[in-house]
Structure 1
Amino acid sequence: MPPTAGMVFDNIALMTKIYLAVDPSGAHLYTWEAWTTWMQVAEAPFAMCSIAPGETVERIINQKRRTLRHLPPGHTCDAGTWLTAFSLAVSCRDENRVASLCQITPAFLREASEKHGGAYDEYIYPWIAALQDFILNRPTLGDNLYQAMDLSRPENASISDAESLNLLVFPVIESLYRLAQQDTEKFNEAMEQGTRLFRAYYTADEERSRDTNGAVPLQLFGIACMAYDLAQVVPGFNPDLESGYLPKHILERSRYSETEL
């Protein structure tokens, strides 16, 4: 992947967040198209890292079919980027990309993350494993969730600061924990707390209030989309997903059939 790929990804992400600032419910087609393109660009490096040198893989990106070639592990396919790609793929209901991302092991992501001296807090690897467990219905979900929750406590901060873990990370992990229990009341409480703490973090000072990462709590939104879909098939699970931070029309798949993924 050329050196400019990271800049392209950042520009697409920024453009999508600007669209959401103007269209927070995601009602317009241009917002949905930007959102899906962001997802496609985020997932592409993992498709490229999953094939052998000399092999190719095809992906639709920005409404065109592209042929992608092998990419060695590195920062473009590390643990943080995986969480972004996964959350976006889940929100787009792209089952093929979600399945593909769930085949990327935490061990691979650690290797990619630590190349060239990079690092993440330790919670991230059992957290990724727990997300994969949930999708693949693996029995290790509980163990990985408990480990991720323990390692994401503020006192365990090593790379991130304690405030980020407390306000942005732990609430998302707890939301998946409550979703796995299919307990409507506790899930609603976890989601309400997650959006409230997200808002508190990104409105704490003027600099943060200008940060486009505060446009949407992406990982929490991914959990919300999984909850919305689960509610369609599980009687008695009726989550309250009304929030100005959760783009309603993406959540409810209003334009799902209007763009080829």
Structure 2
Amino acid sequence: MNGNNTFDTSGAPDRDLPMLTAAQAARLRALTAPYAQVGHSYPLHNLAQKCRQAPEERWPEVVADHFSALQAGSQGGESATELLRGVHARLLPTDSLTPDIAGAMRYARVVAEGLVFAYALDLPTSVRMLTDPDVERAGIEELGQAAYANLMRVPVEHEEVPIQGGALLHSVYGDSPFVASKALFLSEVARQVTGEPLPDAGALVVVPTRHLLAYHPIVDGSVVDAVNGLAAYALGAHEDGPGELSPRVYWWHRGGLTSLTVIDHDTRSFSLQPPPELLALMKGLVRLDRAGRIDTPTAAKAPDVAALTHTTAEAMARLAEDPSALGDAFASALTLSHAHCATDPEAAHVDTWDAWATAVQLGSALFTGAQAQECRLGEDRVRQLPATPAAPPADARAWLDAFYVAVVCRQKHRADRLCEVPLEVLRQDDSVDAYVLHWIDTLRTYWAERSMDDVVGKLITTMETSQPASLTHTPKDFADLIDYQPVALFHRLVTRDHDAFAEALAEALAHHGTYWGDSAAPRARVALGPLAMAGLAYDHGFPVALKQPYLPTYLLNGERIEEMPGC
């Protein structure tokens, strides 16, 4: 994301009209001077782009045709009704506004680095930017409403463009010079072309020319590939034209645009530098996506248990030579354990238990170390987990997974040891929101049987920090529908309210189903956090119903639990 790219610097580009050389720009200004003298001032960017596409000997003709079309269009003085009928919201490059033009359009405002918002009147043969008297005549509020409505009626084409790495771009294009201006209202555009609004995290978007915008909804770890893909896409389209607007990559979020592109005008180079809030979100999405915690297009295929078993076995075989691969081996075993529940939803089969037991062994070894021990992967397939020193990684969500599976499998001594992992280590994980760490602190405090006042205080902090306004790393729907549900269940557990726990459990399972829908992802098969809380409640005498979706019966009631080697 921080790699530099350099514009073509051949021919000493003009500073204000970089699509032309300095000499070409000087000639163009000379050709347009007579037209400016008649009392009208026009931006030259669009004309310069036209000239760039034409042989220089035809420039006088191109200039004449351009100004002829402008002069044949509006000369101003339209009625308020006429203005409202034809006005459109319009994005302009900031460097297209000369001091004279900017002085006549004081209502215009910069909406993002490199982009100015203004109003334009769409006429049969030309487009005229509205001036301050025009705006005053029509009324600023009425003009804004009409400009939005007219812009959203502009017809567009839409296609999906896959790029390397698995990211998908949505390309929106058309003949109208107002197409790219729709980026101001990107969520509505997304709803029009795909039927779905943008996610809470927004989207990456580029507006390289007036006729084109492309965007990528921020939903999973593919956002990293999308940043680089959009940057290349925007630069190429911007240089090709016509109607250049901006080569930058922007983040559309909550109705605003933020530039990710930093341009060094002296060296004609650019770099991508996401703002801290977006960088944190991207990092969190990558970690969630990599562990299969969020729903992605790749989760459409049903899990292949045989292939996952082989992957887990191979990951374990590498541990003797590469102990650092233990995190990947744990993630693979956890995926396998969930995948078994697709065909064995009650966890009645021994192969399913073996997968869950292996996940417990690898999870505890990852954070607390372990002695050499055997791990079973079903069908008499045994792999050796070598002696592992305690070297807990700064991975808060992996710790939660390890703790949950230890609780589900009634491995109290392993859960005890997990709770001895220094919280300071987990706090070094900068890919999670604060509520995740507060939730871990709550669980550790409860498991250590400290005062209930301490537990409740930490639980309240967890709840407060999980509010949407506090989220910077986690998608809102994942935080609400998945992450928060064990917290809500724990609240009812510690208050020993049986009825409220049953209601909260039903709600948690419904939310799990809502989030995953018909996804075939292994994580969709089991509500891991609620399963851990329900297992605790069952062992504490709560009347937990045993036949519930996403809760394997023989893990919930402990009847499938067997001894596992190691400690």
Higher relative contact order structure (alpha carbons within 8 Å, sequence separation ≥ 6): 1
Give the direction of change, closer, same or farther, for the CA distance of 1:228–1:70 in structure 2 (3 Å limit).
closer
The aligned counterpart of 1:109 is 426
Aligned-partner Cα distance in 1 for 2:447–2:390: 26
Counterpart of 2:401 in structure 1 is: 84
Tell me the equivalent position of 1:217: 527
Aligned to 2:412: 95
Aligned to 1:160: 474
Secondary structure of residue in 1 paired with 2:387:
strand
Paired residue secondary structure (1:134): helix
Alignment match, 1:251: 556
Measured against aligned partners, the alpha-carbon deviations of 1:3-34 in whole angstroms (never above 9, x if no partner) come to 54343233322222221101000000110111
Matches within 5 A, 1:116-131: 118-131=430-443
Counterpart CA distance in 2 for 1:199 and 1:7 is 27
Aligned to 2:339: 18
Q: 1:102 to 1:5 in 2, by over 3 A?
A: closer
Q: Distance in 2 between matches of 1:230 and 1:59?
A: 33
Structure 1 CA distance for aligned equivalents of residues 372 and 402 of structure 2: 14
2:326–2:362 CA contact under 8 A, matched in 1: no
In the superposition, relative to structure 1, how do residues 70 and 86 fare at CA in structure 2: closer, same or farther (>3 Å)? closer
Question: Relative to 1, partners in 2 of residues 1:59 and 1:156: Cα closer, same or farther, differing over 3 Å?
Answer: farther
Question: Matched residue of 1:62: which SS?
Answer: strand
**1:126, distance to aligned residue in structure 2 (A):** 1.4
Which residue of the other structure, out of 516, 520, 538, is the alignment partner of 1:202? 516
> How far apart, in 1, do the equivalents of 2:396 and 2:413 lie?
19
Q: C-alpha offsets along residues 43-98 of structure 1, whole Å, 9 cap, x if unaligned?
A: 111113xxxxxxxx415451557421243x535xx211110000000011111101
Q: Cα distance 1:146–1:17, how it changes in 2: closer, same or farther (>3 A)?
A: same
- 1:62 maps to 375
Amino acid at match of 1:246: L
CA distance in 2, matches of 1:60, 1:182: 38
Secondary structure at 2:501 match in 1: helix
Comparing 58-67 with 155-164, greater Cα deviation is found at 58-67
Structure 2 letter corresponding to 1:36: A
Amino-acid identity (%):
28
The answer to whether the Cα contact below 8 Å between 2:374 and 2:565 also exists between their aligned partners in 1 is: no
Distance change (3 Å), C-alpha of 1:45 and 1:4? closer
Counterpart-to-counterpart distance in 2, 1:254 and 1:85: 21
SS at 2:323 equivalent? coil
Kept after mapping to 2: 8 A contact 1:20/1:215: yes
Distance across 1 between alignment mates of 2:513 and 2:448: 31
TM-score, length basis structure 2: 0.40
Q: Which moved more, 1:126-135 or 1:6-15?
A: 6-15
Structure 1 equivalent of residue 357 of structure 2: 36
Shift of 1:104: 1.5
Tell me the residue number matched to 1:227: 537
Q: For the residues of structure 2 that align with 1:28 and 1:246, how far apart are their CA atoms?
A: 15
Output the TM-score relative to the length of structure 1.
Answer: 0.83
Q: CA deviation at 1:130?
A: 1.0
Gaps of 5+ in 1: 49-56, 232-236
For the 8 Å contact 1:126–1:145, the answer to whether it is kept is yes
- Tell me, what secondary structure is at the counterpart of 2:481? helix
What SS is found at the alignment partner of 1:67?
coil
Contact 1:154 1:163 in 2 (8 A): no
Counterparts of 1:126 and 1:11 in 2: how far apart (Å)? 26
Tell me the residue number matched to 1:54. none
Alpha-carbon spacing, 1:61–1:106, altered in 2? closer, same or farther (3 Å): farther
The amino acid across from 1:219 in the alignment is G
Q: 1:34 to 1:80 in 2, by over 3 A?
A: same
SS at match of 1:36: helix
The structure that has the greater radius of gyration is: 2
- Residues 162-204 of structure 1: per-residue CA shift (max 9 Å, x gap): 111111122220100100011001111111111100110001x
Q: CA separation in 1, counterparts of 2:508 and 2:535?
A: 14
Q: In the alignment, does 2:384 pair up with 1:74?
A: no
In structure 2, relative to structure 1, the CA distance for the partners of 1:21 and 1:103 (3 Å cut) is same
1:138-149 correspondence runs (5 A): 138-139=450-451, 140-149=454-463
Distance 2:456 2:472 in 1: 24
Question: Helix, strand or coil: the match of 1:69?
Answer: coil
Unaligned runs of 5+ in 2: 1-321, 377-383
What secondary structure, in the 3-state scheme, does the structure 1 residue paired with 2:433 have?
coil
Instruction: Identify which of 188, 196, 204 aligns with 2:502.
Output: 188
Instruction: Verify the 8 A CA contact 2:372 2:388 in the aligned structure 1.
Output: yes
Q: Structure 2 vs 1, CA of residues 244 and 104 (structure 1 numbering), >3 Å: closer, same or farther?
A: same
For 2:503 and 2:373, locate their aligned partners in 1 and report how far apart those are by CA, in whole Å. Answer: 38
